[in-house]
Structure 1
Amino acid sequence: MKLKTTLLGAAAAVALAPLAAQAERGEDGHLNIIYWQAPSIMNPYLSGGTKDLEAASLVIEPLARYDEAGNLVPWLATEVPTTENGGVSEDLTSITWHLKEGLQWSDGTPVTSEDVKFTWEYCTAEGGGCAQSEKYNDVESVETPDEHTVVVNFSVPKPFPYGPFVGAQAPIIQKAQFQDCLGPKAPECTDANFAPVGTGPFTVTEFRPNDVISLEANEHYRDPDKPAFATVTFKGGGDATAAGRAVLETGEFDYAWNLQLAPDVLEQMASAGQGQVVSSFGTLVERIMINLTDPSPDLPEGERATKEHPHPFLTDIAVRQAMSMAIDRELLTEIGYGEAGRPTCNVLPAPEIYASTANDACLIQDIEGAKALLDEAGWVDSDGDGIREKDGVELSVLYQTSTNAVRQDFQALIKQWWEEIGIETELRNIDASVFFGGDPGSPDTFQKFYADVEMYANNFDGTDPEAYMANWSCDEAPSPENQWQGNNMPRYCDPAYDALVAEMAQTGDIKKRAELAKAMNDMLMQNYIMLPLVDRGRVSAHANSLGGVILNTWDSELWNAADWYRKDM
């Protein structure tokens, strides 16, 4: 069975073409980056927060990654293995990667195949709570025949074997630095987690969690002329408005990420002429996640939001469906994102081949229909206080999200709609640096999910959704046993869903893979495990003086920071 070339894209085994930067290493001085969601860690294996993954991508890198068109391209590897070039076995049970010659870690030691093997061991160590464990699904063993060769063996045929060590979410970490950080010890290795030794264009000189990262050019970076910038300040915190102004109006910063701002606000900022807004659609979906477990503070710590305690009313599909029916997604998109958003009823909106049309009824708000559904399910307001109840249980939800003007606007509208159908709604917003952080001791992370519903957006590396859709497998639910890591925030568990995940892992035909991905999406949507709201375009901004920026919605936005340079103005 041959690997379909459509799974890779046209540039699968073609090295990334050099870009336009002309400066020698460090010649362009200092670079200022601002992420209003401040990184809390530089280890993507201990955080599912995009802010942490992207910051870390300046320092640690994968074997291959995705370019701005979604094509898989070699990075630390010499080429992308395929069945055609002999890198993927004919039976699809192994993939062989070859490291580029002369690669060095930022401490000057050689990068070897043992580092790659160790990365797999680190993420799969028992009790470690790896946030990216789905990338290593079905890996049976990793062999290292020599210092530059890595053979990944799978327990089943893998028509798409590009989960392990591919993309910003699955980079290579140094064995020497992390070898004493396996399993439950992983969160304790603060020095390594805050300042990993890497192969990327920059190295960390100071890390202040939820605040500022100072970096300098990696003297052992594989291209002797890059990066053009000698030092970097990576400022975190504040809000999207301040970040946008810092690039577009005042010129204090060179790059601002994730400008989640109303369209008219962005337009006004851009009119100052200091910088330019860049945007592109990918797979980023703003959604409300439904907690199927009980987050009540009355439960003992360690039992809250765990599968042993089902939610008292959100386990009723009629309640979840009514909550979805009450939402006007068109209005949310208009006020929050304008042309940079599209209302959606799917958690998997792209690429087009994977986009389902089976759930489009959610695009029409139906308040009266939601009320009738709750009436039929026996949820009634018997005492006239505006809150429906049944068997002594009231429909009262805590709705949390990160602190951001657009998200608070969404919260206010959705609270109004839910209360209109008889669901009392309390709003809570949490500083984004904390909410999207990976601290297993914090009660306020989106993984721990100590609320009834929560709203955020995320996406996946590349254009193939196999690993992404595996996020909602039973074993991906965050819990005390896995350090509250994992991406199955609703704690959804259905053997039928897991069976689809397993089938897709062994399916090579692109049309059949699309059918399976749509089936998984539809199962989640039609059970109202989450409520998609807006298919969001990535919106960022950079200074007019910053060259080489290529917005990438399929990998880290900072994927080609080694090629950034200062323009002559």
Structure 2
Amino acid sequence: FSDGCDLTPEAVKASFERLFEEGPNGSSAPQVYLETDAEIIADNETGNLTIRTTIPYVDLTKNLAYPVMAILDVEHTTDYDHSPIGTGPYVAADFQEEVGYTMAANEYYWDGEVPFESVELLYMGDASAKAMALQSGQLDLAENVTNISDLNTLRENPEFTVTIASSVRTGLAHMNMSEGRLLSNKTLREAVLMALDDETMCSVTVGGLYTSGYSVLPSNLDYGYENLTDPYPYDQEAAIQLLDEAGIVDTNGDGTRELDGQEVVLHYVTYSNRCLDDFAEAIQQQLAEIGIGVDLELGDSARQWDSYQSGDFDLNGSNWTTVGTGDPTEYLAAWCSDSGSDYCGYQNDEYDELYNQLSTTFDEDERRDIIQRMQQILLDDAAVVVHGYYNSSMISRNATIGGAAIHTADYYWLTNEIYPAAQS
């Protein structure tokens, strides 16, 4: 560990047990990656840690390598929020709220020399501020400049290296289909999807930072996207006709339709991350054109997650990594009614059956077929608003930084592979 203590089987067991106890209280849901009923046997004498699960896992090692499962020194960590003791190349030396971290080299690092003695990690919520800080010399490295004009300016500047990768992130707005919510009405959900011009939003509104698509899994993954059918493509006139025929009409002339006597005004919760606010504002405008109101709540990621758990939303905009373990099983749990991760109130018996089947199927071809079928069910049920698939970026200053490139999984930003340019 970064405090010099040995990483022993007992220490690993203690870290997992803390995850089992504390994990369900946060947003990381470690129980999705390793069941809390798993028996963990630690033997410091032999150096072995044995995990016995009650259910089969296709590849448990991938799950254990997921960032939320990171092993921490539970015995000696006193501040998990700001200075956890782990095993990475850098340790948190200082933290300032809304400013960032000062990271110091881990003198006990196990995997070679640490490239930098110290690193300043700065929080910048504004994409243009990131670009300006790079150009002024305040920053040497930044991830995800989400203003396309700023990004293009940096790409044209020979002082910087810009890498862009088709990531495995899907930008989406979850629909709350719980009983009593407006979007429990399937006709309304269908009309919402038909009213949204995703191609224009991706190519124009956010300047190509997303690749448009309609399924919950990105089109660049090998899960049968080319075999899927979009039953509700963009067609504003058809959306209007559908609502009219269903009796979801504006009876009082205020411009907003009513459903069962209730004005159709959707509570949309999101935050400023990877253009989610841009999508939300465009959706608000496009839905208004067919008589659907949107009450847009733009907060932070904590509020967005709280609304998931409380069910206080109709649309909830976020950007999710789909195959963080190299497999989409955990991500697809968001629509399985008995997974503990279904915050949408979605219920489809066939989907649930396929999800449970996926969890115990090891053959790759069979898994691919199951995943394709699950995607089509969500499409047919009009179960989610998909914006598109995010194109991640990393920008580095050539005079000071070497080895910087965005990872397709994009969790890995500051690693021991990034080094001072003088070492290149």
1:463 maps onto 2:326 in alignment: yes
Specify the alignment match of 2:344 in structure 1.
490
Alignment check: 8 A CA contact 2:10 2:43 kept: no
**Structure 1: tracts of 5 or more residues without a match:** 1-104, 179-188, 294-309, 478-486
Are 2:394 and 1:540 equivalent residues in the alignment? yes
Match of 1:246 among 133, 138, 142: 133
Rounded to whole Å, the distance in 1 between the matches of 2:163 and 2:24 is 38
1:260 maps to a residue whose letter is T
State the partner residue of 1:266: 151
Could you say what secondary structure the match of 1:455 adopts? Answer: strand
From 136, 141, 153, give the equivalent of 2:39: 141
2:388 paired with 1:501: no
State the AA in 2 paired with 1:258. N
Shift of the 150–493 alpha-carbon distance from structure 1 to 2, 3 Å rule, reads farther
**How far apart, in 2, do the equivalents of 1:237 and 1:126 lie?**
29
SS of aligned partner of 2:56 = coil
Match of 1:558 in 2: 413
Among residues 173, 190, 215, which one is paired with 2:103 in the alignment? 215
> Are residues 1:510 and 2:398 paired?
no
Q: Aligned in 2, Cα 1:406/1:349: closer, same or farther, shift over 3 Å?
A: closer
Shift of residue 322, structure 1, vs aligned partner: 0.8
Deviation at 1:413, TM superposition (A): 2.4
Secondary structure at the counterpart of residue 398 of structure 1:
strand
Q: Which amino acid aligns with 1:456?
A: S
The corresponding residue for 1:256 is 142
The change in CA–CA distance for 1:547 and 1:447 in structure 2 (over 3 A counts) is farther
Alpha-carbon distance change, 449 to 567 in structure 1, aligned in 2, over 3 angstroms: farther
Q: Which residue of 2 aligns with 1:46?
A: none
- Measured in 1, the distance between the counterparts of 2:232 and 2:155 equals 31
Contact 1:289 1:455 in 2 (8 A): yes
Residues 362 and 116 (structure 1 numbering): CA distance in 2 closer, same or farther, change over 3 Å? farther
1:416 aligns with 2:270: no
- Match of residue 94, structure 2, among 206, 225, 231: 206
Q: What is the total number of aligned residue pairs between the two structures?
A: 418
The answer to whether 1:524 aligns with 2:378 is yes
Deviates more, 1:134-143 or 1:445-454: 445-454
TM-score (norm 1): 0.68
Q: Deviations over 1:402-427 (max 9, x none)?
A: 13694443333222221111111222
2:416 is the alignment partner of 1:567: no
Distance 1:414 1:463 in 2: 31
SS of the residue corresponding to residue 508 of structure 1 reads coil
Deviation string for 1:271-291 (max 9, x for gaps)?
Answer: 344322211113111111112
Separation (CA, whole Å) in 2 of partners of 1:165 and 1:463: 12
Instruction: Tell me if structure 1 keeps the 8 A contact 2:329–2:359.
Output: yes
Cα deviations by residue, 1:131-187 (Å, 9 ceiling, x for unpaired): 232111486312224453222222233333235421223211223146xxxxxxxxx
Letter in 1 for 2:320: N
**Which residue of 2 is the match for residue 289 of structure 1?**
174
Change in 2 beyond 3 A, CA 1:337/1:280: farther
Flag the 1:430–1:538 CA change in 2: closer, same or farther, 3 A.
Answer: same
Matched, 1:231 2:85: no
Aligned to 1:369: 238
Give distance in 2, aligned partners of 1:409 and 1:252: 27
Distance 1:134 1:405 in 2: 25
Aligned position for 1:453? 315
Q: Distance in 1 between matches of 2:71 and 2:336?
A: 25
> What is the one-letter code of the residue matched to 1:175?
V
Secondary structure class of the residue paired with 1:327: coil
Structure 2 CA distance for partners of 1:363 and 1:271, relative to 1, 3 Å: farther
Matched, 1:172 2:35: no
CA distance in 2, matches of 1:122, 1:397: 38
Aligned Cα root-mean-square deviation (Å): 2.7
Residue 126 and residue 377 in structure 1: after superposition, are their counterparts in 2 closer, same or farther (change >3 A)?
farther
Match of 1:400 in 2: 269
Residues 313-392 of structure 1 aligned to structure 2 (within 5 Å): 313-349=182-218, 352-357=221-226, 359-361=228-230, 364-392=233-261
1:329-352 CA-partner distances (Å, limit 9, x unpaired): 110111244454321111112553
Structure 1 match to 2:163: 278
- Quote the offset at 1:373 in angstroms: 1.8
Q: Match for 2:316: what amino acid? A: E
> 8 Å contact 1:462–1:555 — kept in the other structure?
no
Cα distance in structure 2, aligned partners of 1:275 and 1:172:
35
Q: Distance in 2 between matches of 1:163 and 1:401?
A: 30
Conserved? CA contact 1:280–1:551, under 8 Å: yes
Deviations, residues 468-513 of structure 1 (Å, cap 9, x unaligned): 2223333555xxxxxxxxx544243445433322211211110111
How far is the alpha carbon of 1:546 from its aligned partner?
0.6
Cα distance change of structure 1 residues 406 and 109 upon mapping to structure 2, 3 Å threshold: closer
Q: Distance in 1 between matches of 2:269 and 2:119?
A: 33
Q: Which amino acid aligns with 2:336?
A: S
2:102 is aligned with what amino acid? Answer: S
Matches of 1:351 and 1:490, distance apart in 2: 26
Hey, what's the Cα distance between the residues in 1 that align with 2:337 and 2:272? Answer: 30
What amino acid is aligned across from residue 167 of structure 2 in structure 1?
A: G
Matched, 1:113 2:9: yes
| Letter aligned with residue 123 of structure 2 | G
User: Is this contact kept in 2: 1:227–1:564, CA < 8 A?
Assistant: no
Shift of the 491–235 alpha-carbon distance from structure 1 to 2, 3 Å rule, reads farther
Residue type of the alignment partner of 2:409: W
Is contact 2:256–2:293 with CA below 8 Å preserved after alignment?
Answer: yes
